[in-house]
């Protein structure tokens, strides 16, 4: 296994961090310009959300098939193939002015993103020592947040000063160049051998993972956590471009710099895991995120920004702990397990958008707080359930003292 601070460790972590950055840069480039697209195409907030939701839904549906494919052809081939598809789809998107075609191409982007996202963590688990993995997962998820920031800010600023096609062209070109760097840096796996002809075995692994409450409840936590996190930002984008704030898209997209709180908290979660159990950490992250939503009730831009900082910090803290929990609790088919976590994660993000944007249409931010409160209550309940499931499993494996 590759140890912490070795040359191979640095190559792997840098390559996967760059790939993660590209995935989230491409996934979120359209999020800050949803209000502008809604006005341009003359559709409602929930209807234009399909431009964003198409990618996340397609990503969620393709994660498990790609994970199963990687068990046969290898993790690296799947990750590289997925990254290479992104610039081609981006350039094709520049040729259309049809909203339907844009949505379909965004779904194709989700298919490509899924190839990388489904197996990157499994690659790390299989190649890195436990200490190296604990450090690397924090950096990998920090790159998620940095990619999300870059994609959103670039999308908003470039669209405001030029148009959305310019934004797509810049991101596609950057992705093409960076993918070549990933190919050069990422080594072939040494501790994994592809196994062909095991389709039945991999599908059986899906059933095993979903049937294991220790893993499945953590997946549900990840899905609801992401439903809140990403879509509270989407709603805030609509809130800031409307009266009384009336911010331009370029300026409102800068709210995504608040993701930096998530970059920091995802790294801090590694320190938490060394000293404390992960489940109380998930509760702590959820509390921070809930506090952020409530702080943002104030109709003041500084308070809204503080709320978003708390939402980002708390959500990424919870996500990093839940993601690592699933990857380490799975005793077999780890790529399938992490892919299943991300299925729940991105389905939550997709469905949560329609729910919270509907709450916004009906009741503006107070309505969003009411709807969000239901999701936070579910999160706390799931954390409580996961704690008791974990305690039962500890008791079950505790050795019996026969001296009494």
- Which tens digits make up the pLDDT trace of 318-327? 998 998 899 8
CA 317-322-327 angle, to 5 degrees, is 130
Interval 375-384 mean pLDDT: 97
> What does the DSSP assignment read for 59-76?
HHHHHHHHHHHHHHH-HH
- Predicted pLDDT at 404: 37
Interval 102-120 mean pLDDT: 94
Q: Tell me how far apart the alpha carbons of residues 60 and 142 are, in angstroms, rounded to a whole number.
A: 21
- Predicted pLDDT at 195: 64
- Predicted pLDDT at 340: 85
Interval 357-375 mean pLDDT: 95
Interval 336-348 mean pLDDT: 85
Residues 6+ apart with CB under 8 A from 186: 11, 12, 15, 16, 19, 76, 79, 80
Q: Tell me how far apart the alpha carbons of residues 133 and 126 are, in angstroms, rounded to a whole number.
A: 9
Interval 371-387 mean pLDDT: 96
For residue 390, name the pLDDT band (cuts at 50, 70, 90).
confident
Q: Tell me how far apart the alpha carbons of residues 162 and 94 are, in angstroms, rounded to a whole number.
A: 13
Judge whether 346 and 59 are in contact, CB under 8 Å: yes
Rounded to 5 degrees, φ, ψ at 198 are -115, 35
For residue 203, name the pLDDT band (cuts at 50, 70, 90).
low
| Tokens found for residue 375 | 């999701």
Highest mean pLDDT among 109-113, 125-129, 141-145, 388-392: 109-113
Q: Report pLDDT digits (tens) over 45-72.
A: 999 999 999 999 999 999 888 888 888 8
CA 319-323-327 angle, to 5 degrees, is 175
Could you give the residue ranges of the DSSP H alpha helices within 212-330?
213-241, 249-252, 260-275, 278-295, 301-329
- Predicted pLDDT at 32: 93
Q: Please give the mean pLDDT across all residues of the chain.
A: 89
Rounded to 5 degrees, φ, ψ at 399 are -65, 145
For residue 29, name the pLDDT band (cuts at 50, 70, 90).
very high
Query: Structure pTM?
Result: 0.83
Q: Tell me how far apart the alpha carbons of residues 217 and 385 are, in angstroms, rounded to a whole number.
A: 8
Q: Report pLDDT digits (tens) over 153-165.
A: 999 999 999 998 9
pLDDT at residue 398 tops 90: no
In the chain, what percentage of residues exceed pLDDT 90?
A: 62
Q: Report pLDDT digits (tens) over 226-271.
A: 999 999 999 999 999 999 999 999 999 999 999 889 888 988 887 8
- Write the DSSP symbol of residue 128: B
Judge whether 215 and 326 are in contact, CB under 8 Å: yes
Q: Tell me how far apart the alpha carbons of residues 39 and 54 are, in angstroms, rounded to a whole number.
A: 19
Which of 285, 315, 272, 291 minimizes the C-alpha distance to 144?
A: 315
Q: Report pLDDT digits (tens) over 151-199.
A: 999 999 999 999 989 999 999 999 999 999 999 999 988 877 766 655 5
As its CATH architecture, domain 7-397 has Up-down Bundle (1.20)
- Predicted pLDDT at 119: 87
How many residues appear in the chain? 404
Q: Tell me how far apart the alpha carbons of residues 240 and 82 are, in angstroms, rounded to a whole number.
A: 35
- Write the DSSP symbol of residue 3: P
């Amino acid at each position: 296994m590759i140890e912490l601070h070795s040359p191979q460790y640095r190559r792997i972590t840098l390559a996967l961090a760059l790939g993660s950055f590209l995935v989230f840069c491409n996934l979120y480039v359209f999020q800050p310009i949803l209000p502008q697209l809604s006005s341009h195409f003359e559709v409602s907030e929930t209807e234009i959300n399909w431009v964003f939701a198409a990618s996340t839904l397609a990503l969620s549906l393709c994660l498990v098939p790609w994970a199963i494919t990687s068990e046969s052809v290898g993790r690296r081939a799947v990750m590289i193939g997925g990254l290479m598809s992104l610039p081609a789809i981006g350039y094709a998107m520049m040729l259309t002015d049809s909203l339907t075609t844009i949505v379909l191409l965004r779904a194709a982007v989700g298919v490509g993103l899924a190839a990388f996202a489904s197996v990157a963590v499994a690659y790390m688990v299989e190649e890195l020592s436990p200490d190296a993995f604990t450090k690397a997962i924090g950096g990998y998820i920090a790159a998620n947040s940095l990619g999300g920031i870059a994609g959103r800010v670039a999308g908003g600023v470039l669209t405001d000063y030029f148009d959305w096609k310019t934004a797509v062209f810049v991101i596609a070109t950057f992705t093409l160049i960076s993918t070549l760097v990933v190919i050069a840096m990422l080594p072939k796996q040494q501790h994994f051998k592809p196994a062909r002809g095991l389709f039945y075995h991999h599908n059986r692994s899906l059933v095993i993972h979903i049937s294991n409450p220790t893993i499945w409840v953590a997946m549900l936590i990840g899905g609801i956590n992401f439903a809140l996190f990403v879509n509270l930002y989407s709603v805030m984008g609509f809130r800031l471009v409307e009266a009384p704030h009336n911010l331009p898209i370029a300026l409102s997209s800068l709210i995504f710099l608040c993701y930096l709180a998530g970059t920091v908290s995802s790294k801090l979660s590694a320190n938490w895991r060394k000293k404390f159990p992960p489940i109380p950490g998930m509760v702590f992250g959820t509390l921070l995120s809930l506090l952020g939503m409530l702080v943002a009730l104030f109709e003041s831009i500084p308070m809204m920004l503080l709320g978003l900082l708390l939402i980002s910090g708390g959500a990424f803290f919870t996500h990093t702990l839940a993601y690592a929990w699933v990857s380490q609790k799975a005793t077999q088919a780890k790529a399938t397990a992490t892919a299943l976590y991300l299925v729940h994660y991105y389905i939550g993000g997709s469905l949560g958008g329609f729910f919270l944007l509907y709450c916004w249409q009906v009741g503006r931010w107070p309505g969003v707080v009411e709807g969000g409160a239901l999701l936070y209550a579910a999160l706390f309940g799931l954390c409580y359930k996961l704690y008791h499931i974990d305690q039962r499993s500890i008791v079950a494996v505790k050795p019996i003292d026969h001296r009494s």
